[in-house]
């Protein structure tokens, strides 16, 4: 058990993932949580991170900070996704080891897997084939972050765990088209169509691609669970183990938003990896499973977008 008074640094607490983790630990009664905004601490700068660790001396670190985005952003800014994420990870993980952090949780992504992985995707499929080109830069960074933590454990006994979640959505998500992921982008499209009285919504790709989704509150619960109970440096998949086609997802969001018009598919846009559904048998065997259903989670997200729409 992690002591309720332990100093825990949640890196990236302003983002969707980090804010969910912060809420979870606060709800569990932790009173010594350390946070920094990007303006207060630029995690890309080694010297700044060194000074932070020396001054704050966190006992535990949750590395939820990252540059993220959807297919469009990943394709346009591959260099930045690779460079900035490796800078952030290297500084957080290596300085945590040098400063005697008791345990670090690294958050990766299911995009680390080869594009042609057998389904469902097992942890051992890592590095068995070429990556999906549409998010290769981000995937390479996440693989490097996992390997750095693993090697530090292997060589020096550093206590690190790595989680590879499926597609995430939920509270504090992005809704701008440049940086949003598929689910939040679809929520915005259909909500806006209802509000404007549009007769048609245009969606990217063919709709045939299949994705697995996890509400960010469930991920936060998994982080808390594994920080308490998981002690292996090998990464673990975190997800629902159930996927849905983008066409089916669009239909579900249309129904939940009240959109009654037509849906057109822009085949000139990429689908990305054809299917991405993870094998979650390891985390299930450890005693964890998600609680938020996809329909309930989308309903919550629609309500959040409608509330925040005037500010977007």
Q: What is the mean pLDDT of residues 241-268?
A: 97
Residue 180 pLDDT > 80, yes or no? no
CA angle in degrees (0–180, nearest 5) for 63-223-101: 45
The model carries a pTM of 0.95
pLDDT confidence of 6, banded at 50, 70, 90? very high
Alpha helices in 157-203 (DSSP H): 182-196
Which class for 79: exposed (0-12), middle (13-18), buried (19 or more C-beta within 10 A)?
Answer: exposed
Which neighbouring-strand residues pair with 121?
278
pLDDT confidence of 220, banded at 50, 70, 90? very high
Per residue in 74-110, pLDDT (tens digit) is 888 999 999 999 999 999 999 999 999 999 999 999 9
Sorted by where each starts, the structural domains of the chain and their CATH numbers stand as 8-170+213-240+278-292 (3.40.50.720)
Residue in 53, 138, 150, 169 annotated catalytic: 138
Residues 6+ apart with CB under 8 A from 288: 221, 222, 225, 226
Q: Is 30 in the active site?
A: no
Cβ atoms of 185 and 177 closer than 8 Å: yes
Per residue in 36-62, pLDDT (tens digit) is 999 999 999 999 999 999 999 999 999
Q: What is the mean pLDDT of residues 192-211?
A: 96
pLDDT confidence of 209, banded at 50, 70, 90? very high
131 by DSSP, 3-state: which?
A: strand
Reading the block at residue 110, the tokens are 């299911």
């Amino acid at each position: 058990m992690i002591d309720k008074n332990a100093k825990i640094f949640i890196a990236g607490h302003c983002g969707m993932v980090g804010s969910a983790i912060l809420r979870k630990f606060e709800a569990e009664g932790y009173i010594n949580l350390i946070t920094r905004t990007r303006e207060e601490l630029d995690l890309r700068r080694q010297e700044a991170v060194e000074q932070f660790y020396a001054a704050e001396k966190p006992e535990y670190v949750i590395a939820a900070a990252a540059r993220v985005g959807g297919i469009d952003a990943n394709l346009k800014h591959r260099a930045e996704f690779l460079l900035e994420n490796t800078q952030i990870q290297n500084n957080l993980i290596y300085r945590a080891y040098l400063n005697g952090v008791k345990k670090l949780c690294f958050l990766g992504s299911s995009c680390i897997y080869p594009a042609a992985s057998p389904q469902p995707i097992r942890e051992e499929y890592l590095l068995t084939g070429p990556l999906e080109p549409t998010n290769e830069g981000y995937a390479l960074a996440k693989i490097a972050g996992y390997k750095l933590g693993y090697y530090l454990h292997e060589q020096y006994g550093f206590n690190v765990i790595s989680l590879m979640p499926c597609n995430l959505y939920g509270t504090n998500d992005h809704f701008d088209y440049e940086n949003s992921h598929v689910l939040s982008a679809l929520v915005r499209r259909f909500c806006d169509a209802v509000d404007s009285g549009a007769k048609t919504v245009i969606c990217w790709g063919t709709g045939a691609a299949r994705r697995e989704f996890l509400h960010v509150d469930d991920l936060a619960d998994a982080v808390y669970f594994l920080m308490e109970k998981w002690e292996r440096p090998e990464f673990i998949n975190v997800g629902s183990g159930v996927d849905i086609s983008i066409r089916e997802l669009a239909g579900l969001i249309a129904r939940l938003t009240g959109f009654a018009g037509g849906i057109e598919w822009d085949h000139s846009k990429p689908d990305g990896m054809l299917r991405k559904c993870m094998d979650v048998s390891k985390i299930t065997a450890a005693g964890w499973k998600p609680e938020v259903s996809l329909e309930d989670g989308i309903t919550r997200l629609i309500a959040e977008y409608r509330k925040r729409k005037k500010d977007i």
